[in-house]
Amino acid sequence: MTRFWCVHIPRIASAYYIFAVIIAMLLYPGGNHIELDQVGYSFHKNFLSELGFHKTMSGDLNFFSSVFWNTAMYMLLLQGIAFLFIPSLFRVNRYSFIFACLGTLFMFPACVFFVGVALTPGDIYFDAHLFTTTMAFNLYSVAILFYVLAFLFSPLSNYYASGGVLLFIAVGVYAYYLGDFQPIDAINDRVRFLETYTMDFLIFNVVLQKVMIILMITTIIMFTFGLDKLIGKKNAND
């Protein structure tokens, strides 16, 4: 049961997220924040959360795409539950255990906020969507930081924490270039949005977001291999 929750569930949640997001992209009708007549989804011009819009920027209903996007967000709640079981694996070292407990303290609410992202589509509830998205990413990043420290203080190879290190480089780039930037509602405040966003700036935002998401998923997958090792060591000692 420990391996099921600590290893299999995070992997299943990550795999389903990738699957559902790809399907949602394929089903997305079209339009981005600048080019309303764009056909379909653009990997470098559309934010991920646009997959959850009630209506796309082109004005088309987005039912099928949003269903897959929302279920991907709901699946992350399972990941949050899984992390409630993980700190016990780090009892081999006092500091690892403390950092793992702190990591879970941030991971579980982060995953709850990701569900909130699904419940607040940005084209209808812009402010609430911005709040849930910001909280989800911030809490998730802090959780990853504490788990990186938990792995570094554990008897395992530092390799399992390397994905988290790359993630924080990306977070640092984001904070440096976009930390003070205030997002603008592209639907209800379109004039100011177009005065602020160039296509290059939009692409930079979109691509950096996806890089961070890819690194988050990679980090979790790498964690599960380390957790599997800890479970093996624990079983051997028992």
What tokens appear for 96 in the block?
Answer: 């690892």
3-state SS class at 30? strand
Domain positions in the chain:
2-237
Q: What is the pLDDT of residue 78?
A: 95
Taking the C-alpha atoms of residue 48 and residue 199, their distance in angstroms, rounded to an integer, is: 17
Q: What is the pLDDT of residue 238?
A: 62
User: Residue 121 in contact with residue 128, Cβ under 8 Å?
Assistant: no
Helical H segments across the chain, by residue range: 2-3, 9-27, 63-82, 94-119, 126-153, 162-178, 190-196, 199-237
Please report the DSSP string for 154-165 in residue order.
SSS-GGGGHHHH
Q: What is the pLDDT of residue 235?
A: 78
Nearest to 217 by CA among 3, 81, 27, 16: 16
Instruction: Compute the average pLDDT of residues 45-56.
Output: 97
The chain-wide mean pLDDT, for the chain, equals 94
User: Residue 40 in contact with residue 29, Cβ under 8 Å?
Assistant: yes
Q: What is the pLDDT of residue 138?
A: 94
pLDDT digits (tens, 9 = 90+) for 163-209: 998 998 988 888 888 777 788 999 999 999 998 889 999 999 999 99
Instruction: Compute the average pLDDT of residues 100-117.
Output: 98
